[in-house]
Amino acid sequence: MRIKKTLGGKYMRSYKNDFPIFQKNKKFVYLDSAATSQKPKIVLDAIQEYYATYNANVRRGLYPIAEKATKKVEKVREQVARFINAKDPSEIIFVRNATEAINLAAYSFASHNIAKGDSVVTTIMEHHSNFVPWQQLAIQKNADFVVLDISEDGFLDLDLKIKKAKILTLTHVSNVLGTINQIKDIIKQAKAINPQIKVLVDAAQSIPHMKVDVQNLDCDFLAFSGHKMMAATGIGVLYGKRELLKQMRPFLYGGEMIKEVSIAKTTFTDIPYKFEAGTPDIAGIVSFGAAIEYLKSTGIETIQKHENRLIAYSLSRMKEIEGLTIYGPKDIEKRSGVVSFNLNGIHAHDVAQVLGDMDICIRSGHHCAMPLHKRLGITASARVSFYIYNNEEDVDKLIESIKKVKKIFKYG
Ligand code: PMP
C-alpha cells in the first residue's frame, strides 16, 4: 500500500493503486466520476469469478452453479438493503440504472395514483432522468407539472406548491451545482404540509459519496445507479417502502415475475420479483456486491472527508484563474465533489477537448440538466467531479492545464 502526504500534512493511502485503469497510464487524470466511476480490482475480479466459475441463470436452475448464482444475487440484495438501511431486502428492486428506477416509479406508482387536477412536483435542478418521466406523465394525465426554483446560490425554494401534490421527486445532490439538498428536512416539511405526499429521492449523485439511510430520511422511493459507485454499468436500484411496492402494478411483464399465467389472465408474484421481469444483469449484481464491500471497507465517511478536502483545495486553486466562474454553493460543507464552471470566452466543449488531449478527463455540455442551465443563463458548462482515487496532484494538473487552455485560446 502506498502512503502519500496530503496538503494538510497528513499521511494517507493512495487509493489509485486499487484501480487498474490508473496503472496503465500514470499521467491519466480522471475527473468525471459523476458520469461514471472507475472500478476497483475487487469489482473486476468478482465479475471474472462469476463468469469463469458459476455463470448460470438465476431463480430457474436446480443445479449447483445456478443455486450459487441465485444465492449470490439475494446476498447482494441484502447487502444493498443494509447499505441504505432498508427495513427488508424485498424493498430493493434491481433495475438497469437510476433512470429505469425513476421510470419504474413514475409508471407503476404514479400512473395509477395521479389523475387530472393532481400535481407532480419536481425541481429545476433535476437531471433529465428525474424530470422528463414526470413531465411526460403529467402531460398524459392532465396533471399539473410544478417545478420548484432554486435560490441564487443554488438551494431549493420549497414552498406551499406541494399542498396538492401526489408526489415530490427531487435530487439529493445536484449533478451540476454539487448542492447537497437538506433532503431529510425537505421530506419532513413536505409531509407536514401534505401528509399524503410521496417523495422520491434521486440518489444517483449522493449514495456513492455519503451515508444515505432511507428510514432516517423517511423517503418513499430512492433511485440510484451502481456504475457511479464503482459497480459495473447496467445495474441500478429502486428502493420503495414495502407497503407502497405491494400496491403497485408491475412495470415490465415477462418471465419470472408471475404466479400463474392462463390465456385469460396472469397473476403476479410478490415483491421484489414482480418488478424484475426477465433475466437480470447477474454479473452487474455480483459487481455491485463487491463495490459495496469496497465502499464499506474504505468507509463512506473517509470518502466524504477526502472529497471535501479536494473540493476545498480545487475551489481555492480555481480562484487563481481569472475569468473562471464557478456555479453552486459557496459553502464547502453544503456541496459534494462536483464543480461546474465556465471560462470566460471559451466554450466548455473546447475546454474539455483540450484537457482531454492532455490526459485529463472532464465533462462538458448541459450534463442532462437543460432546464437548470437555462435557469443559470448558460447553455453549457465544464464539470469536474471527484472520487476517492483523486488527489491534490490531480487538482494541480487540472489547474495548470486550465491555464494552458487559456493561453491556447489567447485569453488571459
Ligand atoms: N440523476 C442524477 C442526479 C444523475 O447525475 C444521473 C447520471 N448522470 C442520473 C440521474 C441518471 O443516471 P443513469 O444514467 O445511470 O441512469
Cα 79-219-272 angle, rounded to 5 deg: 45
Domain, as residue range, for 215: 44-297
336 lines ligand 1 (CB under 6 A): no
Quick one: pLDDT at residue 160? 59
Quick one: pLDDT at residue 4? 54
The answer to the question of residue 35 being in a domain is: no
Cα 125-131-133 angle, rounded to 5 deg: 170
Taking the CA of residue 337 as centre, how many other CA atoms within 13 Å lie in the half-sphere pointing to its CB? 30
Read off the pLDDT of residues 372-404 as tens digits, 9 standing for 90 and up. 999 999 999 999 999 999 999 999 999 999 999
Read off the pLDDT of residues 272-297 as tens digits, 9 standing for 90 and up. 999 999 999 999 999 999 999 999 99
Q: Give the Cα separation of 26 and 41 in Å (integer).
A: 17
Indicate if 283 and 313 belong to the same structural domain.
no
pTM of this structure? 0.95
Indicate if 367 and 251 belong to the same structural domain.
no
257 lines ligand 1 (CB under 6 A): no
CATH number (domain holding residue 311)? 3.90.1150.10
Indicate if 246 and 366 belong to the same structural domain.
no
Q: How far is the CA of 120 from the centre of ligand 1 (A)?
A: 20
The answer to the question of residue 411 being in a domain is: no
Query: First CA to last CA across the chain, in angstroms?
Result: 42
Query: How many domains does the chain divide into?
Result: 2
Round the CA-based radius of gyration of the chain to a whole number and report it: 22
Read off the pLDDT of residues 118-169 as tens digits, 9 standing for 90 and up. 999 999 999 999 999 999 999 999 999 999 988 777 677 666 577 778 999 9
Backbone angles phi, psi at 280, to 5 degrees: -75, 175
Instruction: Report the chain's mean pLDDT, rounded to a whole number.
Output: 93
The answer to the question of residue 412 being in a domain is: no
Q: Do β-strands 381-385 and 338-343 pair in parallel, antiparallel, or remain unpaired?
A: antiparallel
Indicate if 14 and 59 belong to the same structural domain.
no
- Give the catalytic positions in this structure: 368
Domain boundary among 271, 297, 323: 297
Quick one: pLDDT at residue 159? 66
Q: How far is the CA of 192 from the centre of ligand 1 (A)?
A: 29
Q: Whose CA is nearest to atom 6 of ligand 1?
A: 204
CATH number (domain holding residue 234)? 3.40.640.10
The answer to the question of residue 54 being in a domain is: yes
Tell me: pLDDT of 411 over 70.
no
The answer to the question of residue 380 being in a domain is: yes
Amino acid letter, 266: T
Q: What is the DSSP string of 116-184?
A: TT-EEEEETT--GGGTHHHHHHHHHHT-EEEEE-B-TTS-B---GGGGGEEEEEEESB-TTT-BB--HH
Read off the pLDDT of residues 16-61 as tens digits, 9 standing for 90 and up. 999 999 998 888 999 999 999 999 999 999 999 999 999 999 998 8
Residue 148 neighbours by CB under 8 Å, 6+ apart: 121, 122, 123, 124, 156, 157, 158, 159, 161, 170
Quick one: pLDDT at residue 12? 59
Indicate if 128 and 213 belong to the same structural domain.
yes
The answer to the question of residue 16 being in a domain is: yes
Could you tell me the pLDDT band of residue 14, with boundaries at 50, 70 and 90? confident
Phi-psi region of 88 (alpha: psi -120 to 50; beta: other; left: phi over 0): beta
Q: How far is the CA of 155 from the centre of ligand 1 (A)?
A: 19
Contact yes or no for 76/47 (Cβ under 8 A): no
Amino acid letter, 213: D
Q: Which of 338, 85, 79 is nearest to 211 (CA)?
A: 85
Percentage, residues of the chain above pLDDT 70: 95
Q: Give the Cα separation of 129 and 369 in Å (integer).
A: 9
Read off the pLDDT of residues 70-128 as tens digits, 9 standing for 90 and up. 999 999 999 999 999 999 999 999 999 999 999 999 999 988 899 998 999 999 999 99
390 lines ligand 1 (CB under 6 A): no
Percentage, residues of the chain above pLDDT 90: 84
